[in-house]
């Protein structure tokens, strides 16, 4: 049995949520060498590294898993935002359940399914956090809270997620920061005037919002200045080096096989047609993104459809109905497994 003492330096899991446009994304750019999975297009105006926008829940999961299993230079993975990522999870769950909306499951079951899926999502991020920092950005909304020991209802800022899944990222994170405009009320009586509006990063829990940190930070950090100055308040607690991943034997064998492939002799005929049919660039959507991510071609899908007895031999991928394409996305894990087994 190993017994360790003292402070352990490890990648941090951080949630930053707040109102729209306050600067959450720009703050995240100052974390060590970040790579963004931009689910909503909020990084278009910033000079940052980003993946393709995930168009389905399986695509998002594969992107995250890649950073945990492949060598790369990035030190911080930023999900911008987790509430938009949750939308992909909801869509996936509805497709799997063959329902039009999450409430169609009845008796709150749909929201339980969402919470379970978000839990598995956070488990995957925990695995990735063994080698790099994780930053989850999120929007907020106001929700009424009724404490068991008190009478009456009061308003509180919370992550803009489903009620059952919203607490999970906050419990999972090492630190939760809430970004908002700090306002002051002046005047007398029932009518008061709001003044101020200074951007502030809240690091400790209050009745108005959730926040926490294990770094001994002040409860409020002025967010009005440059984001890099705000980041310096927490920089000492964020590792700037990446934990290396040791490749397993299977990965080593696969790389050796790839490097030992014989070279193809060039014919010099630049007009010769390629014998391998690539995925149709005219097709777009979640399935096409998953196919590109896994180097799957049109013919692979066509062969799978024939083996499964779904369509006759000779039917082209471009003629498959949309509901069948949605079915493939919903069951992508089994689809890619079957394709790889038959290659």
**pLDDT tens-digit map of 260-280:** 344 434 444 444 433 334 444
- 156 three-class SS: strand
- Fill in the DSSP letter of residue 229: H
- Fill in the DSSP letter of residue 15: E
At 151 the pLDDT is 65
Q: Is the pLDDT of residue 73 over 90?
A: yes
**pLDDT tens-digit map of 282-325:** 345 788 788 888 888 888 888 888 888 787 777 777 777 777 88
3-state helix, strand, coil in the chain (%, to 5): 35, 20, 45
Q: Is the pLDDT of residue 120 over 50?
A: yes
Q: Scan for tokens 């499951």, then name that residue.
A: 105
% the chain with pLDDT above 70? 83
- Worst-scoring range by mean pLDDT, 90-94, 108-112, 182-186, 286-290? 182-186
Q: Scan for tokens 């060598």, then name that residue.
A: 71
Is-contact 168 115, C-beta < 8 A?
Answer: yes
Q: Is the pLDDT of residue 33 over 50?
A: yes
Q: Is the previous residue joined to 81 through a cis bond, with omega within 30 degrees of 0?
A: yes
Give me the domains of the chain, ranges plus CATH numbers: 13-237 (3.40.50.300), 280-343 (no CATH)
**pLDDT tens-digit map of 216-253:** 999 999 888 778 888 998 998 898 877 654 444 444 43
Long-range contacts of 304-307, Cβ-Cβ distance < 8 Å, separation of 24 or more: 304/335, 304/338, 304/339, 304/342, 307/338, 307/342
Q: What does the pLDDT average to over 185-213?
A: 81
For residue 164, what pLDDT band results from cuts at 50, 70 and 90?
Answer: very high
Tell me which residue of 328, 297, 295 sits closest to 310, measured CA to CA: 328
């Amino acid at each position: 049995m190993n017994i360790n003492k003292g402070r352990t330096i490890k990648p941090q899991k951080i949630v930053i949520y707040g109102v729209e446009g306050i600067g959450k994304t720009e703050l995240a750019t100052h974390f060590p060498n970040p790579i963004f999975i931009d689910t909503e297009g909020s990084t278009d105006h910033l000079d940052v590294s980003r993946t393709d926008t995930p168009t389905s829940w399986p695509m998002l999961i594969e992107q995250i898993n890649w950073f945990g299993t492949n060598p790369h230079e990035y030190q911080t993975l930023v999900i911008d935002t987790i509430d938009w990522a949750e939308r992909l999870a909801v869509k996936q769950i509805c497709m799997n359940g063959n329902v039009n909306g999450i409430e169609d499951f009845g008796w709150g079951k749909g929201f339980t399914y969402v919470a379970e899926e978000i839990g598995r999502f956070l488990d995957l991020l925990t695995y990735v956090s063994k080698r790099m920092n994780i930053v989850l950005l999120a929007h907020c909304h106001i929700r009424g809270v009724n404490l068991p020991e008190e009478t009456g209802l009061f308003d509180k800022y919370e992550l803009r997620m489903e009620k059952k899944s919203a607490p999970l990222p906050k419990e999972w994170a090492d630190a939760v920061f809430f970004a908002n405009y700090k306002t002051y009320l002046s005047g007398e009586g029932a009518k008061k005037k709001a003044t101020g509006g200074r951007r502030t990063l809240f690091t400790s829990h209050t009745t108005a919002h959730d926040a926490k940190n294990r770094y001994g930070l002040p409860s409020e950090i002025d967010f009005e200045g440059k984001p890099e100055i705000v980041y310096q308040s927490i920089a000492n607690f964020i590792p700037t080096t990446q934990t290396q991943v040791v490749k397993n034997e299977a990965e080593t064998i696969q790389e050796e096989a790839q490097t030992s492939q014989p070279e193809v002799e060039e014919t010099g005929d630049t007009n010769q047609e390629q014998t391998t049919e690539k995925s149709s660039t005219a097709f777009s959507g979640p399935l096409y993104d998953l196919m590109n991510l896994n180097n799957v071609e049109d013919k692979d899908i066509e062969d799978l459809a024939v083996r499964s007895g779904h369509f006759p031999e000779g039917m082209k991928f471009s003629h498959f109905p949309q509901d069948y394409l949605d079915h493939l996305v919903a069951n992508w894990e089994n689809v890619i497994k079957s394709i790889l087994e038959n290659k």
